[in-house]
Amino acid sequence: MIPTALITLLTLLALAVPVAASLGVLGLFLADTYAFLPVHRAIGEIAWKVMNNTLLVSIPLFVLLGEIMLRSGMAQRMYAALGHWLTWLPGGLMHSNIGACTMFSAISGSSVATAATVGTVAIAEGRNQGYNDRLFLGTLAAGGTLGILIPPSINLIVYGVLTDTSIPKLYLAGIVPGLILASLFMVTVIVICSFRPEWGGTRRSSAWRERIRTLPDLLPPLVIFLVVIGSIYAGWATPTESAALGVLAALGLTLSHRQNRLDLAGLRQAVEGTVQTSAMILAILVAAYFLNFVMASIGLTRQVNAFVTNLGLTPFETLMMIVLFYLILGMFMETLSMMITTVPIITPIVVSLGYDPIWFGILIMLLIETAMITPPVGINLFVVQGVRGRGQLHDVMLGSLPFVVTLLVMIGVLISFPGLALWLPNL
């Protein structure tokens, strides 16, 4: 039963069937082949249950928040300001890529939006200043992955809903590992450019007067982050309500800025982009919930648990096997669908071994981040190449490889020191 399900899913994805349709078709196939009852009749009730979850309302709101930041010009101004503060480091503007991705991650909640937004602003600058094309693109693809680790992360919301885990605690757990990972990305750039200085492009320095003049352009992302995250931990708002407050704060900051580029046409485009992205995410969620329901009904979930238990491995060995499973699966499967289809099955196994579900949620985010820049189907690789609009995809793949290694190091660090994720939630 397990091989049949896996082969069917991989075949559908290889045929370029949309992810939501692949998951739904697999659920119907398993129901008709193995179920004694017509479980496919539960589709309507499952869809209603998913769509009626108030926590998931935060997803389109966070997507809209990122769209407003991009179309208002705030992201461009933030990137230019970071250039004055970070380009003195070996690697110059590539640190601005990572820094801008870190700050944009703290308001967008999406890795794809982060990579696309910062890439739109940065690629022309990198080309003009003589940076190594591959490494420059790699910093954008890798930096973009921070969008699902640093709160407010859409993927952490989905994980919390799937596992009934506290989303505010997951948000707290992602802060320290996210900042450490961003720092490790920057260290990776420094090390590479120390050995290959010519890859670091044209070095430029800014006077302190110029740096201080750009500080107001760094304030909007910080204000929005404080509104979104601060309102949750002050007890003033739920995660969904905080997302709405973030959108209002973004609109207010946009309208108050003299260089605002967001007109009615831009706002309409932002809303349309939000609808498209949110519809895709929610369609995958409905299909995945149905597939998980079918797998539980036919006993496939129980078979997986029994298989893992009967291996006779220690908890640590089992965890390593799960990490390897995600690293391999991430090479061939879209990350959100991979997470939605596997987390409800894997998380109970991990928790039964004595691991903390909040810590495991952060580990899952790191594994998904790795999948996002791992060939052949790493989604951020395609996003950055799409923004680039020229050359070949393998340039982005090669440029991302050093950061895949950095992510593997970070995964090892988190496993060795789980307190990095649990320190803030346990305060």
d(Cα 185, Cα 285) in Å, to the nearest integer? 31
C-alpha dist (Å) from residue 134 to 63, 137, 269, 300, 405: 29, 5, 31, 43, 16
The pLDDT tens digits of the residues spanning 363-375 come to 999 999 999 898 8
pLDDT given for residue 211 in this prediction: 81
More confident residue, 113 or 301: 113
Reported confidence tier of residue 36, pLDDT bands at 50, 70, 90? low
**284 CB-contact burial (10 Å; exposed 0-12 / middle 13-18 / buried 19+):** buried
- Percentage of the residues of the chain whose pLDDT score is greater than 90: 22
Q: Which residues pair with 200 in a beta bridge?
A: 131
The pLDDT tens digits of the residues spanning 253-275 come to 888 876 667 778 888 888 888 88
pLDDT given for residue 340 in this prediction: 81
Is the pLDDT at 22 greater than 90, yes or no?
no
Taken as a whole, the chain contains a residue count of: 427
Reported confidence tier of residue 316, pLDDT bands at 50, 70, 90? very high
Asked if 231 contacts 242 with a C-beta cutoff of 8 angstroms, the reply is yes
Q: Which residues pair with 131 in a beta bridge?
A: 200
Average pLDDT, the chain: 84
What is the DSSP track for 267-315? HHHHHHHHHHHHHHHHHHHHHHHHHHHHHHHTTHHHHHHHHHHHT---H
Task: Write down the residue that tokens 């995809």 correspond to.
Answer: 393
Sign of the Cα pseudo-torsion (327, 330, 332, 333, in order): positive
Distance of CA 58 to the CA centre of its chain: 15
pLDDT given for residue 40 in this prediction: 65
Is the pLDDT at 13 greater than 70, yes or no?
no
Average pLDDT over residues 406-427: 93
- Percentage of the residues of the chain whose pLDDT score is greater than 70: 94
Sign of the Cα pseudo-torsion (53, 105, 179, 411, in order): positive
Exposure letters 188-227 (e unless 16+ CB within 10 A, then b): bbeebbeeeeebbbeeeebeeeeeeebeebbebbebbbeb
The pLDDT tens digits of the residues spanning 195-250 come to 888 887 776 777 778 788 888 888 888 888 888 888 888 888 888 888 899 899 98
Is the pLDDT at 361 greater than 90, yes or no?
yes
Longest dimension (CA), the chain: 74
Asked if 320 contacts 285 with a C-beta cutoff of 8 angstroms, the reply is no
pLDDT given for residue 5 in this prediction: 67
What is the DSSP track for 317-336? HHHHHHHHHHHHHTTTS-HH
The pLDDT tens digits of the residues spanning 162-199 come to 898 988 899 999 999 999 999 999 999 999 998 888 88
Reported confidence tier of residue 6, pLDDT bands at 50, 70, 90? low
Is the pLDDT at 309 greater than 80, yes or no?
no
The pLDDT tens digits of the residues spanning 48-106 come to 877 777 777 888 888 888 788 777 878 778 888 887 788 778 888 888 889 988 888 87
**According to the 3-state scheme, what is the secondary structure of 21-73?**
HHHHHHHHHHHHHHCCCCHHHHHHHHHHHHHCCHHHHHHHHHHHHHHHHHHHC
Average pLDDT over residues 288-312: 75
